[in-house]
Amino acid sequence: MVIVTLTTRNRVWSALPPIGERDDRPLDLPHLDAATQAQVVARLLSPDFDAWSVAASRVGFCAKPIRLVGQSLTFDKTTGELVRSYGSADEPIGVTFVRCGNRRASECESCSRLYAADTFHLIRSGVIGGKGVPVTVGENPLVFATLTAPSFGPVHGTRPNHGRCRPRRDTGARCQHGRPLSCMAIHDQDDSAVGQPLCPDCYDYASQVVWQWWAPELWRRLTITLGRMLAHHLQVLPAHLGQIASLQYAKVAEYQLRGAVHFHALVRLDGPQTPDGFAPAPTSVTASVLSALVKQAAEAVRVTADPVHLDDVARVLAFGAQVDTRPVRTSSRTDDPDRELTPEQVAGYLAKYATKSATDTEAKDSTHLRRLHATARAMAARTVSADDDPRAPYGLLGRWAHTLGFRGHFATKSRRYSVTLGALRRARQRAQARIAEANRSGIPLDLRALEAELLAEEADETTIVIGSWAYAGTGWANDGETALATAAASRAREYAQERAQRRKQQSSGEK
């Protein structure tokens, strides 16, 4: 138990994110040992607690912020005049805190949520415009595709309509290892058997590792094949496709329970490649046509993979049979009646997968995943390593054993899909600086052109910043401060969820 005075409690409360109608909930500080509790109490009662909580809230209660000391001087580019200066000495604690920026919720809840939010906006603006992307992009055909890995052996799973896992008439049938070939159970999502093979000795672990290794190449070839099919559809040479149309995409890789990566992708058809991008697509390609072409391309793609070592075999790799492609409803075009998903839905899905994927393999431990790891390591040990031959096809396999052979990025996009994460981050920093400036000077922010100004390219800057900063360490001063920041981050998440819930209820009430 942490005992605090009412004054301190009020101070903590005012330091926390905006409080809704229910402000009687205590801050959740579970399972702290005596030493950490003492640190929490010491921090709460410290004379500079206000300053600390302001600093913590500025980095969104990041669990492991970077501490910097130094200063930045901002000069006008043309006149050379000093416009403003900022230094860690201006901070009440004398240190500048910067977010850790970790994408994984297990490392930092606050930064991973920010990453998810940025990813959501990045994906959403490519669907309906905004953040510097013209809204007309919403008129261009858009497809949501899910591409899985093929089967490497039967696994336990949930079935539609509470169906049995792997029913068979001859329930006594067994594999050569004496394990049943059927499973009459009805598994639910939380069942630990889900994703585990019926027989680990029949399961083809080696092929899964090899498939995973080449999955990024399968995707690359899919985009090339799709381009060729589109050119054919539009009756132009593939080399001339760019003069009338271009493909843009955003994709996210996610681990299934069986440890196989699959891809969720948004594929959009734009008009001719122009420096600005986002031109209107040729009208002869509707979202339904594009959806059919993506499906065809995904089914056609093959990669021939060399053996990993002397006793291994060559494999012809393909995507799994369950290729799912759906048109997304975005446009007002009436000639396209069968668009299905809404833009908000797909942007939400992809952003969710983008943050989920980075954490998933380590979070879920199972005999099956351990064996997959072990297989990747054993294969890597037998292949020609990159140290001996930099061009060896599996030379770096050992370094990717922890991701079960998958060496791709978890979230990628083509250049002209929408805005970049970097631009969103820069915009946030600029916004913070503008707000701080407005607070200092008392001159209100000019909101009219603010978004465009915040998202502008670096080249448009009229000022130059000269900084000298030194790294002073990582993390809060002790476990007690970390516990406080983590608890506040969870509270901030609860408030955000409640606000979203209320907005949802309000908007459904208005309809």
Residues that bind Zn ion (CB under 5 A): 62, 99-100, 108, 111, 156, 165, 175, 177, 183, 185, 199, 201-202
Q: Least distance in Å: CB of 185 to Zn ion?
A: 5
Q: Least distance in Å: CB of 177 to Zn ion?
A: 3
Q: Least distance in Å: CB of 84 to Zn ion?
A: 26
Q: Least distance in Å: CB of 213 to Zn ion?
A: 25
Q: How far is 455 from 69, CA to CA, in rounded Å? A: 27
Q: How many CB atoms lie within 10 A of CB 302?
A: 12
Q: How far is 471 from 85, CA to CA, in rounded Å? A: 19
Q: How many CB atoms lie within 10 A of CB 14?
A: 10
> Tokens 């080449």 label which residue?
214
Q: Least distance in Å: CB of 200 to Zn ion?
A: 8
Task: Choose between 93 and 202: whose C-beta lies nearer to Zn ion.
Answer: 202
Q: What angle do CA 422, 425, 429 make, to 5 degrees?
A: 135
Q: Least distance in Å: CB of 67 to Zn ion?
A: 13
Q: How far is 471 from 88, CA to CA, in rounded Å? A: 12
197 burial class (0-12, 13-18, 19+ CB within 10 angstroms)?
A: buried
Q: Least distance in Å: CB of 100 to Zn ion?
A: 3
**Strand partners for 48:** none
371 burial class (0-12, 13-18, 19+ CB within 10 angstroms)?
A: middle
Q: Least distance in Å: CB of 96 to Zn ion?
A: 15
Task: Choose between 51 and 98: whose C-beta lies nearer to Zn ion.
Answer: 98
Query: 63 near 482, Cβ under 8 Å?
Result: yes
Task: Choose between 65 and 408: whose C-beta lies nearer to Zn ion.
Answer: 65
- Angle at which helices 49-58 and 34-45 cross, to 10°: 100
Q: How far is 62 from 486, CA to CA, in rounded Å? A: 7
For residue 72, give Cα distances in angstroms to 76, 87, 409, 422.
13, 6, 34, 20
Task: Choose between 181 and 289: whose C-beta lies nearer to Zn ion.
Answer: 181
- If DSSP codes are grouped into helix, strand and coil, which group holds residue 284? coil
Q: Least distance in Å: CB of 178 to Zn ion?
A: 8
Structure tokens at 510: 């208005």
Q: Least distance in Å: CB of 150 to Zn ion?
A: 19
Q: Least distance in Å: CB of 374 to Zn ion?
A: 18
Name the phi and psi angles at 327, rounded to 5.
-65, 145
Task: Write out the H or E segment, with its range, that includes residue 211.
Answer: helix 205-233
Task: Choose between 126 and 157: whose C-beta lies nearer to Zn ion.
Answer: 157
Q: Is the dihedral of CA 185, 191, 195, 200 positive or negative?
A: negative
Structure tokens at 402: 């922890």
Go through the chain and tell me how many residues it has.
511
Query: 288 near 302, Cβ under 8 Å?
Result: no
Q: Least distance in Å: CB of 460 to Zn ion?
A: 29
Name the phi and psi angles at 254, rounded to 5.
-135, 145
Q: How far is 207 from 150, CA to CA, in rounded Å? A: 10
Name the phi and psi angles at 131, rounded to 5.
55, 40
For the sheet with 142-147, list strands across it. Answer: 324-327, 142-147, 261-270, 246-255, 411-413
Q: What angle do CA 197, 203, 204 make, to 5 degrees?
A: 140
Task: Choose between 111 and 250: whose C-beta lies nearer to Zn ion.
Answer: 111
To 10 degrees, the CA torsion angle through 118, 121, 125, 128?
170
Q: Least distance in Å: CB of 113 to Zn ion?
A: 10
- If DSSP codes are grouped into helix, strand and coil, which group holds residue 251? strand
From the list 480, 506, 183, 140, the residue with the least C-alpha distance to 331 is: 140
Task: Choose between 183 and 427: whose C-beta lies nearer to Zn ion.
Answer: 183
